[in-house]
Structure 1
Amino acid sequence: MKFAVFSGVLIDYSIQEAMRLTKQLGADGIEIAGREPHLSPSTSRQRVKEMKAVADSLGLAIPVIASYVGGFSTASDKECGQALEDFRRMLDHAAELGASKLRVSPGGPNAFLAQDYHFAKAAYWMDRCAAEAKAQQIDIIMEIHNESLVETADSSQRLLGMLKQDNVGMIHDAGNMYITDTDYGRDSVYKLGEHLCHVHVKDELRIDKAGAPGTFVNLTHRGEEYFLQSRMGEGGADHQPLFDALLETNYQGWITLECHAPFPAYERLEHDFQVVKRLLGRS
C-alpha cells in the first residue's frame, strides 16, 4: 500500500506548496483536488505541465485526480453535456499529470431516495465518460459518498452492474460511510471486491447540533443529522476492521489522507498519518 495526501486538505496553499508539504510529511504521492486554486477544467496546459514538473522534482506520484465533475443523475441534458465537456478537460489534465484514475460523481439523491431513472441516467453518462477515459488508459472512480447514489457498497454495486464499461471502480471512504450509517468494515471490502480501486480515510463524529468549527449537517436515513469533522481515532469511525480487511485481501492500491478537522492542515495530516500507520502495523 502507498499513501497520498488529498490536496483539498491543503487548499489554502498553492499546489506547489501543497506538494512540498506532502513530501515533508513522507507520503508517496498527492491526490490533486479538481478545484481552484489547485486544478480545474479551465486550468491551462502550461500550468498543468508545471505541476507535473514540481511533482517529479519531489519524487511524488499523482495517482488520482479528484475532480468534481459529474452529477449526471439529477442534471438536465444540457447540464450533462457541459459536465461531459468539463470531464474531457479534466481527462486531458489527468493524462498530462500521469494519473491513472479520475474521480467522477454520478450524482444524487441519497440511494434510499433514488428512483430507477436516477440510476439509469447516471449509468448512461458514466459509461460515456468511461469509454473516453479507456482510450487514454485511465480508470474512472466513484467515491462512496453520503447523499449520492453510491452511498453504500450495495448501491455502488447496483450502479456498477448497469455499466457497459469495465474501467469503473469505487473509492472506499469509511468516514462517508459512517455518516450514511452503513457497513464500512470487512464486509464492505469483500462486497466491493475487485471494484475497490482506491481508499480515502478520515474520521467523523455524530453530534447533537452544528454550528461550531468543523461541524456540518447531512441528510441520512435517520433524517437531518449533525457531524463534526474529526482526526483519526477522535471520531466515531473505527477504521481497524477496514485496514485488517485490506491487509487480508492484499490490497495493493493507494490510501489517501483526507482529514478536514478544525486543526492546522499539516498538523491534522501528520496526526492521521501516524494513526493509519499504527493501524496497519507499520509503527
Structure 2
Amino acid sequence: MKMSVFTVATPDLQPEQLAKAAADAGIEGIEWRFKEIPPGAEEEQPSFWRHNQCSMDPGGTEQDWLRFKQAAELHGRQSIAVVPYLTCGDLAETEKVMRAAKLVGASFIRAGIPAYNRSVNYNELYEQAVKYLLEVEDLAAAYDVKALVETHHNTITPSAGLTYRLVSHCSPQHVGVLYDPGNMVHEGYENYRMGLELLGPYLAHVHVKNGGYRKHPSEDGSEATWTGEWTPLAQGAVPWRQVIQDLKSVGYDGYFGIEDFSGTYDSTEMLLRFAEQMKQWSEDKQFA
C-alpha cells in the first residue's frame, strides 16, 4: 500500500518538517497545497484553510516552488501532486499549476469544478465544465501532468456517477478522478464498489478521511436538523476496511492520501496513526 499526505491537513508544519514527519511515518508521497495565505492570516494560529504553513504560494517564483521539491527529496519523499483551488474555466491559472507540478516532479493536479448551490441550473454548469475539462485535457497532454476531478460535496461532482459523467468526455490518460469517500458522507454516497467499477480507468487517486452527522433537536423535540462534521479516521461513517477491499477488487494500486480534518491529533501524530491504521486495515484477514 502506497500512502501520501495532502498538506492542507498539516498546517502547522513547514515543508521540511512535513517531509521528515512523512518519512518517519513511512508515507512516501506528498501532495502540496497550492494556495496563498490571506492577508493578515499569518498572525493567526495555523489552520487548514487560512494560515497553512505547508502551502505553495501561487504568487511565488519558481525558486520558491522548488523549495517544496527539495524538502521532499531531502527526506527521500516524492512530490506526487500540486493541489490548487481552481475556478472552472480559468485556463491561465490551470496552466500555472501544471507548470508548478512539472517543476516539482508531480504527476497530477486537481482541476476546477463548478460549485452547486441551487443558484444556477446544473445543466448549464455541466456544459461549462465539459468545455473547460476538454481544454484542460490538452494542457495535461502538453505538460504530461494528469488533471483530476474530485468527488466533492457542494459541487456538480459529489458522486462517482456524476463525476464519471463529466470525465467520460476525456481520455483517462490525461484526466482522472480523485475518489474521496469522506466527502461522500456529506453528499454523493453510492455503493463504493459499484462506483469504483463505473470509474474504471479514470480512478487515479484516493483521499482518506472520515465524517458523520450530528443531530440537533429543536427545543420542543418536534423537529431536528442534521449537520455534517469531520471525525477521526476510524470513527466515521466510511467503512474503510470495506472501501479498501473494494479498491483492491478493481485493481487499484495508487496512493492513499491522508486528509484528516478532525483535529484529533497534532500533525506529526496524525501521520503516524494514519500509517498504522491503514496497515492494519490492509492486512485485515477478514478482507484479505
Q: CA RMSD in A?
A: 2.4
Distance 2:272 2:5 in 1: 10
Number of aligned positions between the proteins:
260
Shift of 1:93: 0.6
- Report 1:107-256 matches (<5 A): 107-109=114-116, 114-163=121-170, 167-183=174-190, 185-209=192-216, 225-256=226-257
Match of 2:274 among 272, 275, 279: 272
Distance 1:207 1:165 in 2: 38
CA-to-partner distance for each residue in 1:140-164, whole Å, 9 max, x for gaps? 0011000111111111111123447
One-letter code of the match for 2:23?
K
CA contact (8 A) 1:105 1:143 kept: no
Q: What residue is the counterpart of 1:5 in the other structure?
A: 5
Q: Is residue 46 from structure 1 mapped to residue 68 from structure 2 by the alignment?
A: no
One-letter code of the match for 1:183?
E
Distance 1:3 1:108 in 2: 29
Distance 2:191 2:59 in 1: 35
Distance 2:91 2:58 in 1: 11
CA contact (8 A) 2:193 2:243 kept: yes
One-letter code of the match for 1:7?
T
Larger Cα-atom Rg: 2
Distance 1:166 1:50 in 2: 29
Q: What residue is the counterpart of 1:84 in the other structure?
A: 91
Q: What secondary structure, in the 3-state scheme, does the structure 2 residue paired with 1:63 have?
A: strand
CA contact (8 A) 1:100 1:139 kept: yes
Shift of 1:234: 1.0
CA contact (8 A) 1:259 1:269 kept: no
Distance 2:188 2:171 in 1: 30
CA contact (8 A) 1:40 1:90 kept: no
Distance 1:282 1:42 in 2: 45
Distance 1:59 1:205 in 2: 35
Q: What residue is the counterpart of 2:41 in the other structure?
A: none
Q: What residue is the counterpart of 2:18 in the other structure?
A: 18
Percent identical = 21
One-letter code of the match for 1:185?
Y
One-letter code of the match for 2:63?
Q
Deviates more, 1:168-177 or 1:33-42: 33-42
One-letter code of the match for 1:268?
M
CA contact (8 A) 1:231 1:272 kept: no
One-letter code of the match for 1:61?
Q
CA contact (8 A) 1:174 1:184 kept: no
Task: Report the TM-score when normalising by structure 2.
Answer: 0.83
